[in-house]
Amino acid sequence: MKQKFNIIKSTCIPVAIDNCNTDLIIPARYLASTTRDPKFFGDAFMHDLRYDANGKPVADFVMNKPEFSEAPHEGCHEIIVGGQNWGSGSSREHAAWAIAGYGVRVVISSSFADIHRNNLLNCFVLPVVVTPAFQQELFASIAKDPQTIVTVDVPNQTVTNEATGHSEKFEINGYKKHCLVNALDDIDYLLTQKDKTEAFEKTMKKY
Amino acid sequence: MANTLFDKIWDSHVVQVIPDGPTQLYIDRLYGHEVTTPQAFDTLRDKGIKAFRPQQIVAMPDHNTPSDQQEVINDPIGRKQVDTLAANCKEFGIKHFAMGTKDNGIIHVVGPEKGLSLPGMTIVCGDSHTSTHGAVGALAMGIGTSEVAEVLASQCILQSKPKSMRINIEGKLKTGVTAKDVALYIMAQMTTSGATGYAVEYAGSTIRNMSMEGRLTLSNLSIEMGSRAGIIAPDETTFEYLKGREYAPKGAEWDKAVAYWRTLKSADDAVFDKEVTYRAEDIKPRITYGTNPGAGIAIDECVPTLDGLSDAEKAQLTAQLDYMQFRPGQKLEGTPVDYCFLGACTNGRIEDFRAFASIVKGRKKAANVVAWLVPGSWLVRQQIIDEGIDKILEESGFELRLPSCSSCLAMNPDKVPAGKLSISTSNRNFVGRQGPGARTVLASPLTVAASAITGVITDPRKLF
């Protein structure tokens, strides 16, 4: 799951669903796992939109369309462009595992739900917040040409729609950027801070 | 300046602020359930480390627990999660309230009622409805499994401080209007992302006059408008509720605690990044018509029409209504329902059962309705029995089930079949939430009770 981030240049999967909640990203019945098997969670990604009740692929769902159905690999479908308020609802990190397990490295949206956004970062999937105008232009570019390339430059914090040449700066704090570029996670950092935590415990007021 | 209640609790838990980064926040209480912890315990095992402060952690299974019997979980994967939680708690020295024991129930019901959630605490759990515990004056937030592992390993998480919002509700609620209706009303005004990025404080005379159970319902639903936390300043209602609870401080400790808790309120001149005020008198019993909790109307209103919407909005509303099998402009009152659910961390408390019983008393359940009445904990269930509410329910043709998350999220046998319409006191009407293809209308315990009697969506005020 840990991977280093630098510059990602890839085609995208447009999932133009506003308020796409984590129940849609991964239905509850796929939470009943005690492991973090990427294949299991990747297969469950958007399951009930991808497949009908008989397990047959839903032809008109975007991920099943020929131009978007290829499994993500370098340069191909590593980016999802999502609708606004992406990842609302349940805190299930399984939603981030599903996205990561499917092979996606970046989700672009005009807004993310807070818990899901943290979960994505902790799973080394980069949530990129863009303006609604940039998001809509991306959807339009991809609709026109499914091969539209988007470049996400993590060190410089820019996202570029290569079809139009339009670029935006995105926010990420210096600590988290350092973590992503160097494939470091929060738990390892916290484990190095135990002295500070113990010192804090001695001074804190309970009531 | 630490002038809001949220600031006060946040600031008193800051271990350090990482330069150009998040805050290392100390966590007083971690709750764990079987679904979002197994991989977190694996992380600790992989790293060869112990739980840092196991005595501050309490775990219990709730999502997979069946509500008809609790001898055995027939689903092997669900059973494995519940067994895994028990084994992990044993291995890491964590307090565990096992399925079927008197301590067990839904975390967000059990925590406050056992006095494990106290004012001024920071509380986290791998569950978005952790916001519930904010009702006792705690800073309580849902987190992901990686963060659960962080807290297990260090009793801390790294978080960026959210913006602050105060939602004031002023005035007296009308008859038949409950905390659930207040929450559904706010959500419809704010939309499901209106409070994203904020920590909400609820204030105003309506809140001051609200019972603890009502406050817990309101805080529970904060996440449905995007806010991770929904905090309410502790007051006499809070202290009255907590006093004598199993894990609440006792004797001199209690007095000391209350003296401190009384300081936990926003300053008179506190400044919030956003502040909104609603009037209680504007709120009627509410129902939802769509597939997010913000898609709601007063029960006597009609589903919105497509008039004046943009193409994108039209498409979104049409998709929701197609799934729900409702039409634009349709009046939903009178629509036949198949399932009625009373329970969940939203409305599984004693007051909710009292409300439900007040409607169904002396009446009979409609024959076309399957009703699941599921207490949020064994303590709630015992109180229902002690108060004789179970007899009222029984005489009206209802069965009191066993504590569980039950039909809120389709991870146990209480699944609503595809295409069936459920009126539910739970918190989410998402596509497939109560079962693949299930259609959910969210409502208060009163409205669900009225609908269970008539067999159609019913305004509870007509049955008073």
**Tokens at B288, concatenated:** 């939802």
Rg (chain A; Cα; Å):
18
B342 lies in the same domain as B456: yes
CB nearest A32 (choices: B78, B142, B418) = B78
- Containing domain of residue A29, as a range? 7-203
CB nearest B128 (choices: A90, A185, A189) = A90
Q: Is residue A2 part of a domain?
A: no
CATH number at residue A119: 3.20.19.10
Which residues 132-171 of A are in CB contact (within 8 Å) with B? none
A126 vs B: CB within 8 A: no
B252 lies in the same domain as B374: no
Identity of residue B7:
D
B268 lies in the same domain as B343: no
A70 vs B: CB within 8 A: no
8 Å CB contact of B12 and A205 = yes
What's the gap in Å between the CA of B38 and the closest CA on chain A? 5
Q: What 3-state class would DSSP assign to A95?
A: helix
Higher local confidence (pLDDT), B2 or B86? B86
B338 lies in the same domain as B269: no
Closest by alpha carbon to A128, among A195, A82, A163, A96?
A82
CB-hemisphere CA count at 13 Å for B289? 26
B266 lies in the same domain as B343: no
Going A62 to A66 to A68 to A69, the CA torsion angle's sign is positive
CATH number at residue B396: 3.30.499.10
Q: Is residue B243 part of a domain?
A: yes
Question: Rounded distance, CA B436 to CA A72, Å?
Answer: 27
pLDDT bucket at B1, cuts 50 / 70 / 90? low
pLDDT at A1: 75
Q: Is residue A173 part of a domain?
A: yes
- pLDDT tens digits for A153-190? 999 999 999 999 999 999 999 999 999 999 999 999 99
CB nearest A196 (choices: B16, B20, B430) = B16
B247 vs A: CB within 8 A: no
Average pLDDT, chain A: 97
Exposed e or buried b per residue across B309-323, where buried means at least 16 C-beta atoms within 10 angstroms of its C-beta: eeeeeeebbeebbeb
B253 lies in the same domain as B388: no
Q: Is residue A90 a contact partner of residue B145, using CB atoms and an 8 Å limit?
A: no
ipTM > 0.90?
yes
Going B373 to B377 to B381 to B386, the CA torsion angle's sign is negative
B205 lies in the same domain as B59: yes
Cα–Cα distances in angstroms (integers) from residue A201 to residues B52, B138, B377, in the given order: 12, 18, 32
Q: Into how many domains does chain B fold?
A: 2
Q: Across residues B408-420, what is the average pLDDT? A: 96
Q: What is the DSSP string of B303-361?
A: PP-STT--HHHHHHHHHHHHHHT--TT-B-TT-B-SEEEE-HHHH-SHHHHHHHHHHHT
CB nearest B154 (choices: A23, A29, A194) = A194
pTM above 0.95, yes or no: yes
The position carrying tokens 């039950």 is B406
Which residues 257-316 of B are in CB contact (within 8 Å) with A? 257, 260-261, 292, 312, 316
- Collect all residues of chain B within an 8 Å Cβ-Cβ radius of residue A173: 20-22, 160
Which residues 81-140 of B are in CB contact (within 8 Å) with A? 81, 84, 118-120, 126-128, 130
pLDDT at A205: 80
8 Å CB contact of B158 and A205 = no
Beta bridge partners of B175: none
Q: Is residue B267 part of a domain?
A: yes
What's the gap in Å between the CA of B346 and the closest CA on chain A? 14
Q: Across residues B122-129, what is the average pLDDT? A: 98
- pLDDT tens digits for B277-329? 999 999 999 999 999 999 999 999 999 999 999 998 999 999 999 999 999 99
CB nearest B411 (choices: A31, A34, A185) = A31
Question: Rounded distance, CA B358 to CA B366, Å?
Answer: 16
Q: Is residue B77 part of a domain?
A: yes
8 Å CB contact of A31 and B154 = no
Q: Which DSSP category does B144 fall into?
A: -
What's the gap in Å between the CA of A168 and the closest CA on chain B? 21
Closest by alpha carbon to B345, among B233, B216, B445, B171?
B216
Q: Is residue B325 part of a domain?
A: no
pLDDT at A206: 77
B123 lies in the same domain as B42: yes
- Collect all residues of chain A within an 8 Å Cβ-Cβ radius of residue B127: 90-91
8 Å CB contact of B143 and A118 = yes
Exposed e or buried b per residue across A148-163, where buried means at least 16 C-beta atoms within 10 angstroms of its C-beta: bbbebbbeeeebbbeb
CB-hemisphere CA count at 13 Å for A126? 32
Q: Is residue A151 a contact partner of residue A159, using CB atoms and an 8 Å limit?
A: yes
Closest by alpha carbon to A19, among B443, B427, B313, B307?
B313
B236 lies in the same domain as B126: yes
Each residue's pLDDT, cut to its tens digit, for chain A (207 residues) gives 789 999 999 999 999 999 999 999 999 999 989 999 999 999 999 999 999 999 999 999 999 999 999 999 999 999 999 999 999 999 999 999 999 999 999 999 999 999 999 999 999 999 999 999 999 999 999 999 999 999 999 999 999 999 999 999 999 999 999 999 999 999 999 999 999 999 999 999 877
Q: Is residue B188 part of a domain?
A: yes
Question: Rounded distance, CA B44 to CA B441, Å?
Answer: 41
B169 lies in the same domain as B259: yes
Using the predicted structure, report yes or no on whether residue B88 has a pLDDT greater than 70.
yes
Q: Is residue B303 part of a domain?
A: no
- pLDDT tens digits for B58-86? 999 999 999 999 999 999 999 999 999 99
Average pLDDT, chain B: 97
B366 lies in the same domain as B229: no
Q: Is residue B304 part of a domain?
A: no
8 Å CB contact of B260 and A34 = no
Question: Rounded distance, CA B442 to CA B463, Å?
Answer: 19
B251 lies in the same domain as B395: no
Q: Of B274, B300, B316, at which residue does a domain stop?
A: B274
pLDDT at B442: 98
8 Å CB contact of B430 and A21 = yes
Beta bridge partners of B274: B165
pLDDT at B2: 61
- Containing domain of residue B255, as a range? 5-274
- Collect all residues of chain B within an 8 Å Cβ-Cβ radius of residue A194: 52, 154
Please, is B284 exposed, middle or buried when counting C-beta atoms within 10 Å of its C-beta (0-12, 13-18, 19+)?
Answer: middle
SS3 content of chain A, % helix, strand, coil (to 5): 40, 20, 45
Q: Is residue A1 part of a domain?
A: no
Q: Into how many domains does chain A fold?
A: 1
Q: Which chain A residue shows the shortest CA-CA distance from B409?
A: A28
Q: Which residues contact B45 (CB under 8 A, 6 or more apart)?
A: none
